[in-house]
């Protein structure tokens, strides 16, 4: 007889993040992403060039997942989802330490989305 039990599913979570600058970022629920959203995030890994794939990957994820933020050194900075210029101006205005904190915070969820659920240390998700 075949085993028909569904494996345990660990929901994806993104808690509010306090930034090194003292600001904060809150996120949309990754469980609300659609299959189209997941494919768009994965497609961002196909870019060519030095760092282009990694930048596209994180930028695409930030557009979809950042719901709100308060950046003390950039009051009124548009959320990535409202940066229609496609020049990454909103995230490009972040201090490097804040950008890296957001990327590190997103990495576990993106590893699951990009790799189909694997969270092994040797996965190919950009860091």
| DSSP code string of 93-104 | TS-HHHHHHHHH
**Could you tell me what percent of the chain has a pLDDT over 90?**
49
d(CA 119, CA 107): 10
For the chain, which residues make up each domain, given as ranges?
17-115
pLDDT, tens digit (0-9, with 9 covering 90-100), for 27-85: 999 999 999 998 888 888 776 655 778 888 899 899 999 999 999 999 999 999 988 76
What does residue 97 show for φ and ψ, rounded to 5 degrees? -65, -35
Which pLDDT does position 3 carry in this prediction?
Answer: 60
Contact (Cβ atoms closer than 8 angstroms) between residue 30 and residue 14: yes
């Amino acid at each position: 007889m075949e085993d028909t039990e569904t494996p345990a599913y660990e929901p994806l979570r993104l808690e509010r993040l306090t930034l090194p600058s003292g600001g904060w970022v809150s996120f949309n629920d990754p469980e609300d992403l659609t299959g189209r959203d997941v494919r768009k995030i994965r497609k961002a890994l196909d870019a060519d060039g030095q760092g282009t794939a990694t930048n596209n990957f994180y930028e695409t994820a930030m557009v979809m997942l950042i719901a709100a933020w308060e950046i003390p050194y950039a009051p009124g900075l548009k959320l990535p989802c409202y940066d229609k210029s496609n020049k990454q101006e909103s995230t490009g205005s972040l201090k490097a330490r804040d950008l890296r904190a957001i990327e590190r915070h997103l990495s576990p969820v993106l590893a699951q989305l990009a790799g189909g659920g694997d969270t092994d240390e040797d996965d190919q998700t950009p860091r």
